[in-house]
Structure 1
């Protein structure tokens, strides 16, 4: 076989493998501990820890230290704006600002290199699914409002917030606790798990003083949160991604600072905002026994 043809075949096989793996990148199933699985696991696995809130100094609460960074897609100031906007009344989480947070986080991941950004399209698919469900709900409500025989006021929009979506889908019977269904609730759970992974990663990037690489910090967060939800093949692919992570200087540039010391207070503010979103979502999923949807 000519060398050029052989290279094309190899490249096609690698691309096909990556496409297959990317379909599994976000956590898909219930937790399966290493000792209960017939598949080999990554060597260092520990159950997800309870993350204690980090105290943000009073002088940093004005967020004056977070600046716009010209010439780049990801803006930490925009991420923080969406995070704060997602904090709804009565400890709820508003869905549209939550999805906007994810769109900004996608830009962050894509800025870390093509191997990391390659998997973000699965996040985009999940954002699209929830928005499509929201549009379908709006269409139903508009049809009901225009019905001349309507006798009752239509209920509030089901996809306005995390709480309203979970409750509405439960009442409508579209959430299955036994099989995979394209529900907003199941989709949210996958995003919720990945948000904790990013929370731990950003926290480590802001506080690590040992000079560990971004790949090491990303791997530690992955092992703690997502590895337990992934089959062995995806775990191996994740290892390749971590080894290809860029230098820490790329992260400093993304958050528009020059030194690790400057990055720490910025990350304290951002991580605290992410933690609030995650804790609220965790509570809503937990009280409805949705933390292990297949």
Structure 2
């Protein structure tokens, strides 16, 4: 077998192993996608579909640095819109715009190449699970509201925000600290860890010298955040993905800039907003001792 063909076969086998192992960290089941799609469909949040000038931070708006980038799926302006929308009152995080942030980040990862894009289907499953739990909650509330014998008003929607979801699932006993359960809290924790990985990666892409490759920066962020939660085989398989990362010029195209200097202010605002969302979520998980759910 020619060396190049042998390398392709080994890479394919390792990638299959990676996908199999990564599925072990997800709740298993037959949850159906919302309206046969993982697009937004919750009634508790109706996002703005157009990115208005007010949604773009003043620093970037004044210098005309950021806007809609023609000809591509990922839009950094749309990511910023959803990130800012996720920042709810009283330092809470609203769930639906949080999930919309992830949908935009999925487009970013898929644009980095087919190997990186294969990771995203697991993120889609997590998004779908939380949305399905929210839809079941809405159906239960509607049924209760239609009860002619009911006097008290229905309780607030449990899946409106990170705080309300964690608290409701704890009170209902659906969160296990010993075994894996298909709870929104456990699913959120996995998204939360991955969000920190992307925060670190985007931060490095905005500040690290251009000589460092995209794969090197991905590896650094992975080793810092996700590797401690993955077994040895999964870590080795992830190396294949890092080696397949495209040139950093692809990243510049994705954020619609021409140079590293132009990318820095854009990434500074994006990373700062992701950090705020992550810190708020971290606090809610930490005070409930949920940072190590199995």
What's the counterpart of residue 142 of structure 2?
142
* Deviation for aligned residue 1:192: 0.2
What's the counterpart of residue 237 of structure 1?
237
What's the counterpart of residue 201 of structure 2?
201
The question of whether the paired residues in 2 share the 8 Å contact of 1:63 and 1:269 is answered with no
Structure-1 separation of matches of 2:137 and 2:210: 50
Deviates more, 1:209-218 or 1:72-81: 209-218
Going from structure 1 to structure 2, the CA distance change for 1:116 and 1:10 (only over 3 Å counts) comes to closer
Structure-2 separation of matches of 1:76 and 1:188: 23
Query: Which aligned segments of 4 or more residues in structure 1 are displaced greater than 3 angstroms?
Result: 9-16, 57-64
* Deviation for aligned residue 1:25: 7.5
1:124 aligns with 2:124: yes
Structure-2 separation of matches of 1:62 and 1:157: 39
Going from structure 1 to structure 2, the CA distance change for 1:203 and 1:101 (only over 3 Å counts) comes to same
What's the counterpart of residue 92 of structure 2?
92
**Aligned residue pairs, count:** 259
Going from structure 1 to structure 2, the CA distance change for 1:293 and 1:213 (only over 3 Å counts) comes to same
The question of whether the paired residues in 1 share the 8 Å contact of 2:86 and 2:277 is answered with yes
Going from structure 1 to structure 2, the CA distance change for 1:139 and 1:25 (only over 3 Å counts) comes to closer
Structure-1 separation of matches of 2:225 and 2:279: 15
The question of whether the paired residues in 2 share the 8 Å contact of 1:227 and 1:235 is answered with yes
Structure-1 separation of matches of 2:155 and 2:76: 36
Higher relative contact order (CA 8 A, sep 6+): 1
SS at match of 2:139: helix
Structure-2 separation of matches of 1:63 and 1:100: 26
Query: For 1:16-95, what aligned pairs fall within 5 Å after superposition?
Result: 16-24=16-24, 59-60=59-60, 64-95=64-95
Going from structure 1 to structure 2, the CA distance change for 1:63 and 1:92 (only over 3 Å counts) comes to farther
The question of whether the paired residues in 1 share the 8 Å contact of 2:197 and 2:222 is answered with yes
SS at match of 1:131: helix
TM-score, normalization by structure 2 = 0.83
What's the counterpart of residue 35 of structure 1?
none
Gaps of 5+ in 2: 1-5, 27-56
What's the counterpart of residue 103 of structure 2?
103
TM-score, normalization by structure 1 = 0.83
* Deviation for aligned residue 1:157: 0.2
What's the counterpart of residue 272 of structure 1?
272
Cα RMSD between the aligned structures?
A: 2.4
Gaps of 5+ in 1: 1-5, 27-56
